[in-house]
Amino acid sequence: MEGRMPLLGENFPTMEVKTTHGMMKLPDAFKGKWFILFSHPADFTPVCTTEFVAFQKRYEEFRKLNSELIGLSIDQIFSHLKWLEWIQERLGVEITFPLIADDVGRVANMLGLIHPAKGMTTVRAVFIVDPNGVIRAILYYPQELGRNMDEILRMLKGFQTADANKVAIPANWPNNELIGDKVIVPPASTVADKKKREEGKAKGEIECFDWWLCYKKL
């Protein structure tokens, strides 16, 4: 992984970072928990401010899903502190999750967060990392488009549902156009799996459009 950004399914790189909550070592600081690391272009900017408020408003929802939030930009720590102070004083929202001060761009370069064609600030990236420190999702947004935090929550719920039940998650779950809140049963890969699938269909536990597209209610 040296010399390039990490990819899906790889371990989140080990790093020590300076944050508004003090020095932290990632991913160890969140061992046993999911965490969402998200970058923003700059402090004291309009879209970023709306995003931080939106993340904070949903912070308890993230924590109920055994997950934590941590932000990042290439601003200095004093800029972070003054911006968070401004948000609390002017907007009445206290940001309680940590924010990385990556003022030399070390972390941003490690994670592939600076895209030169979009300028020299960090793009709006999201890394969803599981309790084993494995990167499960990476999202990129341009500077002009704010993120949808409810979609990030949906992804987190989807990953946890898939892991716990050995299933796949359909589009727009839990409001899929074909199967509603049901989940996809992976296609049979052995004779035993096929027999089990047929038994499940006979009992009404599994429904299928075809042998390769089956689903069930959890």
Active centre residues (catalytic)? 48
Rounded distance between C-alpha atoms, residue 179 and residue 164, angstroms: 20
Q: What is the CA radius of gyration of the chain?
A: 20
Q: In one letter, which amino acid is 213?
A: L
Token pair of 95 as six digits: 């940001």
Alpha-helical (H) ranges within 22-168 are 46-57, 59-64, 77-91, 106-111, 149-165
Helices 77-91 and 46-57, packing angle to 10 deg: 70
Q: In one letter, which amino acid is 17?
A: V
- Name the nearest CA neighbour of 36 among 128, 134, 119, 153: 128
